Amino acid sequence: MKYRQGFRKYPDYGLDLTMVDFASAAKSCGLKGITTNTPESFKNALIESFKEDTTTIIDARIDPKIYQDSFGLTLGD
């Protein structure tokens, strides 16, 4: 949404949120939590999660630039 606001020259409003640490939130609930930053670490976390007897939350951090670049296609750019 923040990127779309900028793309359409709207003011930056209501989207300055802090990043949630979902892995820590999972751990605080007694679950397993893993943070990943690369495709390889995500693959390893996924493999590891299938070995567990509990729910695993994988907090996959992505590069927002790559994510934002795909919006041009949906906005008719």
65: domain CATH number is 3.40.50.970
User: Please, which residues bridge with residue 35 across strands?
Assistant: 59
**What is the model's pLDDT at position 8?**
75
Give, in degrees to the nearest 5, the angle at Cα 19 between 30 and 2. Answer: 140
pLDDT digits (tens, 9 = 90+) for 27-70: 999 999 999 999 999 999 999 999 999 999 999 998 777 766 66
Residue indicated by tokens 């951090």: 61
Virtual torsion, Cα 58, 62, 64, 68, nearest 10 deg: -90
Rg (CA), the chain: 16
pTM over 0.85: no
Range of the domain at 33: 2-74
